[in-house]
Amino acid sequence: MQLKKLVAGIDMGGTNTVYALVDEVGTIYGSGTFPTNLYQNFDQYIVALRDGILDLSSKIEREHKIMGIGIGAPNGNYYTGCIDSAANLIWKGSLPMAEKLKVLFGGIPVVLTNDANAAAIGEMIYGSAKGMKNFVVITLGTGLGSGFVVNGEVLYGHDGFAGEFGHISYKRDSRQCGCGRRGCLETFVSAPGLKRNTFELLINENTQSSLREFTFSQMTSKDVAIAAQNGDKIAKMAFEMTGKILGEALADLVAITTPEAIFLFGGLAKSGNLILDPTRESMEANLLSLWKGKVKLQLSNLDEDNAAILGSSALAWKELNK
């Protein structure tokens, strides 16, 4: 029997680290997880991660070889293999994660990028973007992330940090953003953005709404989605407002990189047509006429539970197949 080639995919989140062994067609041969902040020392974290991967490997009956490792991490830089000043991690400064894992795994290729770029590569290798040379993945969660693929390659830019579409300006000097500025797109379009839009509508409209019974701290984007599904007018307006703003921004995006398709991904994308329909309508209304009706806008079809792991694995496969 032929030696099965696998890669390790790692999804490093602020809360949990998930890792898995995955083959070239996206079959997961085993996965594990542990809390990211369990270790005060980054080296201990790396060793625990190595041990977790080796443990998975030992449980696979089929003869196999780990060919490479792909990592999706907050502020992950593809060029340097480092995680730089990620706000959600307890270790500060620049963390040479790829290099450290490479040493522990005997020099196999280890590549790292941020979550949104990993999602884009996952979409390209395992998802709906198969065969596409120019597309964008927009991740809608705590923030708005973006992974651009141009001429078949991820757009990393000069320094490895390109694709911060959440931090283009939507409305200057308005809502405070985590980045230290005001009015960034992600303060309007993201899970917290949807909540802020909801409260803005509660202020401006007198329409009855079940959402008037939530505190600002309590309310989540899921509450708004459930209310919208139950016919709550304010909740529906909040999705329409969010989609309208995202559509305007995507029309500008098309004018710059002109992708074949744009995929929505992440928590907010789970609300499906609630977000997709107003986004598409607004994008179409704002596109230059030459692009009207020509750019696909759709939800990612990657299984949400495994998407991050598949993205990281795909990153490794892409590197190995270069």
Judged by CB under 8 A, the residue of 159, 303, 304, 305 near a second copy is 159
Least distance in angstroms from the C-beta of 133 to a second copy: 7
Does the footprint of a second copy cover residue 79 (CB under 8 A)? Answer: no
Please state the separation of Cα 86 from the chain's center in Å.
15
Does the footprint of a second copy cover residue 172 (CB under 8 A)? Answer: yes
User: Checking DSSP bridges between strand 4-12 and strand 64-72, what pairing results, if any?
Assistant: parallel
- The window from 43-51, 144-152, 209-217, 266-274 that contacts a second copy (CB under 8 A) reads 144-152
Does the footprint of a second copy cover residue 322 (CB under 8 A)? Answer: no
Does the CA dihedral 73-76-82-88 come out positive or negative?
Answer: negative
Cβ-Cβ contacts under 8 Å for 290 (sequence gap 6 or more): none
Helix (H) or strand (E) holding 308: helix 304-320
Residues in binding contact with a second copy, number by CB under 8 A:
41
Does the footprint of a second copy cover residue 252 (CB under 8 A)? Answer: yes
Does the footprint of a second copy cover residue 255 (CB under 8 A)? Answer: yes
Does the footprint of a second copy cover residue 284 (CB under 8 A)? Answer: no
First to last CA, the chain: 26
Does the footprint of a second copy cover residue 253 (CB under 8 A)? Answer: yes
Other Cβ atoms within 10 Å of 304 Cβ, number: 12
Does the footprint of a second copy cover residue 115 (CB under 8 A)? Answer: no
Which of 187, 142, 146 has its CA nearest to residue 165? 146
Judged by CB under 8 A, the residue of 2, 151, 206, 217 near a second copy is 151
Q: In the complex with a second copy, which residue's Cβ is closer, 17 or 190?
A: 190
Does the footprint of a second copy cover residue 153 (CB under 8 A)? Answer: yes
User: E-assigned strands of 93-212?
Assistant: 94-95, 110-113, 135-140, 144-150, 153-154
Q: In the structure encoding, which two tokens stand for residue 79, read together?
A: 């060029």
Interacting residues with a second copy (CB under 8 A): 133-134, 146, 148, 150-151, 153, 155-159, 161-165, 167-169, 172, 179-181, 248, 251-253, 255-260, 286, 288-291, 294-295
